Chains A and B, each alone.
Chain A
Amino acid sequence: MSETLLEIKGLSKSYPGVKANDNVSFTIQQGEIHALLGENGAGKSTLVKMIYGLVHPDEGDMVLHGKHYMPHKPSEARNLGVGMVFQHFSLFEALNVAENITLGMEHAPPRAELAVRIREVSNAYGLPLDPDRLIGDLSVGERQRVEIVRCLLQNPKLLIMDEPTSVLTPQEVDTLFLTLRKLSSEGVAILYISHKLDEIKTLCDHATVLRHGKVVDTCIPAEETARSMAEMMIGGELSMPTAREFTPGDTLLELNNLSLASLDPFGTSLTNVSLTLRAGEVMGVAGVAGNGQDELLLALSGERTTDSDMIKLKGVSLGGMGPTTRRALGLLAAPEERLGHAAAPDMSLTENAFLSARIRQKLEKSGFTLRNKRDDFTREIIEKFDVRTPGISNAARSLSGGNLQKFVIGREVLQQPTVLVVNQPTWGVDAAAAADIREALRTLAAEGAAVLVISQDLDELMEMSDTFAVLAEGRLSKPRSAVGLNVEEIGLMMGGNLEESANA
């Protein structure tokens, strides 16, 4: 299979102040799995959006099957055999599987026929789906199947996948890879974007590396190491966190049979979650998204209150207290959603710093803001956590995802919490910034605090946790030492197999 499928010639695209893509050229062969590598903001998303017709290049040309190719909208791309599975799924929770699939097709067959074809295709590729179920009731892995089946029903020649595995359990990843290899053997080319270099190494035939919108390198992933590919991406040495001895101190946080009903109709209620977090400990909580992570964070931050004794900080029962009181006592939280939850998007960095650190940093006096103190604190965050922003009065929204995340984590860490709870601390953050954030959290624990990290990134958890537990369907497995744990075991625990882990 050496026939060229898609040739990209000198694509460029500028946004105000940024050159997102600069003269990008490469080719994709029929039936190959081609990886696109790069840090956040390297221009990968813009590039695939141009191939899919969502964004129009300023310059350059593409050739598909020997013919000029320049889609003006996604429907044209789909007609010509280019499909895309999005990182943030383009699905509608209140609609059912068949309706969602219809919406993404150009020439959708009638309902009954479509239902039959969905079953056929989904079974043929090992991705079984029930056309009548509501998307809101499906797991994240099943939702991804819907996206993939939607593409497959249109007989694609090129399938673009943006970070497909970031939300899957290891077993689901294996299933996905089988499907992708089968597709590839049938001559479908796959353009694969991922931050997980080990996956790229096992799955992809070729890789193109982007940095600052330019193609800086190409390689054959099987011949490289994850480290060498990471260094191609960042264009320098990668600093790895060093291993640390863990000696547990006094008990800081205790959860006793914490139960909390979810308010979200598609959310998961917490059932009897118990754990003990000690000084110096970093506990990792793994689990597939939607298994109660959001609810756990809300219960700990104080946005939802529980029975008083369910949550104890240094022996003080504070389950019934709100976020302000908990912050004053030393229990701090940084939620997953950066814009709108962890930070107010249209408020400045100083205001966002003030809102969170008002009490602990004593940024107010008899109802008035201490402006200098507030500004100094904001500057401290920006300097210590290398937040790249033109100034302290810029709106939170104007920062890139990684920079805002560094700001959010820095803001909480610098308040010297007793216990810090973070949800997805490095979601969508590039390798270098993620390493910085992990290092900061571990340092915080080393200084005597306790950190609870909720994350779906197993590599991250295994790298930074001392103890480890899995949240599945709102229940938490018994925390165990992270030493000697392997990915297979965790995968089984994530599938809801809590008994095994409790005995382990």
Chain B
Amino acid sequence: MDFSTLNPVALIASLIMAATPILLAAIGELVVEKSGVLNLGVEGMMIIGAIAGFAISVETDSPWLGMLAAVLAGASLALIFGFLTQFLLSNQVATGLALTLFGLGLAALLGQSYSGMKPPSSLRLDIPVLSDLPIVGEMLFRHDFMVYFSLLIVVGVWFFLNRTRAGLVLRAVGENHNAAHSLGYNVVMIRMGAIAFGGACAGLGGAYVSLIRVPQWTEGMTAGAGWIALAIVVFASWKPWRVILGAYLFGGVTILQLNLQALGIGISAAYLSMTPYLITIIVMVIMSADRRRASLNAPASLGQIFHASH
């Protein structure tokens, strides 16, 4: 075995690419959960974003329009979930699971004629000056636009939740929807907004996979990234900056196992592919071991159906 073929600079760069879709989906879901809604349909919204982004990019030859389409597609799917759970008061867990299955099926149907095509490339954003720096430049400043944008979203979400009144209201709704209602806040509409934002982020994450990371369309190509994103929200104990940590940690393990496979380590590839998921499970168990702390951070109304009663 020759570990010297492992190039740490390339490793870090590909780690960031692997982490970005999960980061996008997770930060969206964080906002949804902060408002007290548990949407398990992240995987479905991602895959719909992936195909919508891919198809529109191919048809219009514009990756920007593709991204926009992915945002709209993810948000529309999320709004179906929102309508079912917020207005028709359906069970959030069941509806979220159904949304994933629906999204996977619909994406496969829409994507049939697109497999094997190549999307228009682009969206690179080499940051001037900084990208010319040795090592650091290649690692951190020669990425596509979306990598920086995803980090900006996280900062924006942190600012929104912790520094603005609207963010405070959103957290309040997730904390105690009955109290928020009695103070006169429109719980349902606030949650619909959060759900749509979560869907848009998940859609964008999906499009990142199909347009930039891979880039092509294959059925089921998000391959569980949506589920990982859900786990990362818990891992991050609903704190935006920790979502970055979680996503990059997961991205790191993913890339490391791919590289180890390429080195021909004497462990079956199947075991290596398992590691990111195993690590996620282990980290989750450790995080939630202290029940008191775990429940302190979780939004208290998470997953509960809100029924305005007078």
A residues lining the B interface (CB < 8 Å): 46, 49, 53-55, 73-75, 78, 86, 88-95, 99, 102-104, 108, 263-265
Contacts and interface: CB of A to CB of B under 8 A. Distances in A.
B179 A91 contact: yes
Interface string B152-180: 00000000000001001101100110111
Given A86-B182, A263-B291, A93 B176 contact: yes
A95 B184 contact: no
A493 B180 CA distance: 35
- Among A49, A75, A88, A92, find the residue whose CB has the most chain B CB atoms closer than 10 A: A92
Given A46-B310, A263-B291, A263-B292, A94 B168 contact: no
Nearest to A74: B184
Interface of B is mostly: helix
A288 B72 CA distance: 52
B172 A103 contact: yes
B165 A102 contact: yes
B300 interface: yes
B104 to A, nearest CB: 32
Given A92-B172, A103-B172, A263-B291, A54 B182 contact: yes
B183 interface: yes
Contacts of A74: 182-184
B172 to A, nearest CB: 5
A89 B179 contact: yes
B310 A54 contact: yes
Interface of B: 165, 168-169, 171-172, 175-176, 178-180, 182-185, 291-293, 295-296, 299-300, 310
15 contacts: A53-B184, A55-B310, A73-B184, A74-B182, A89-B179, A90-B176, A91-B176, A91-B179, A93-B176, A94-B300, A95-B171, A95-B175, A102-B165, A103-B183, A265-B295
A504 to B, nearest CB: 36
Given A54-B182, A74-B182, A94 B296 contact: yes
A93 B184 contact: no
A86 B180 CA distance: 12
Contacts of A95: 168, 171-172, 175
B168 A102 contact: yes
- 4 closest residue pairs by CB, A with B: A74-B184, A90-B179, A92-B175, A265-B296
A103 B310 contact: no
Contacts of A108: 165
Contacts of A102: 165, 168
Nearest to A108: B165
Given A46-B310, A53-B184, A91-B176, A103 B296 contact: no
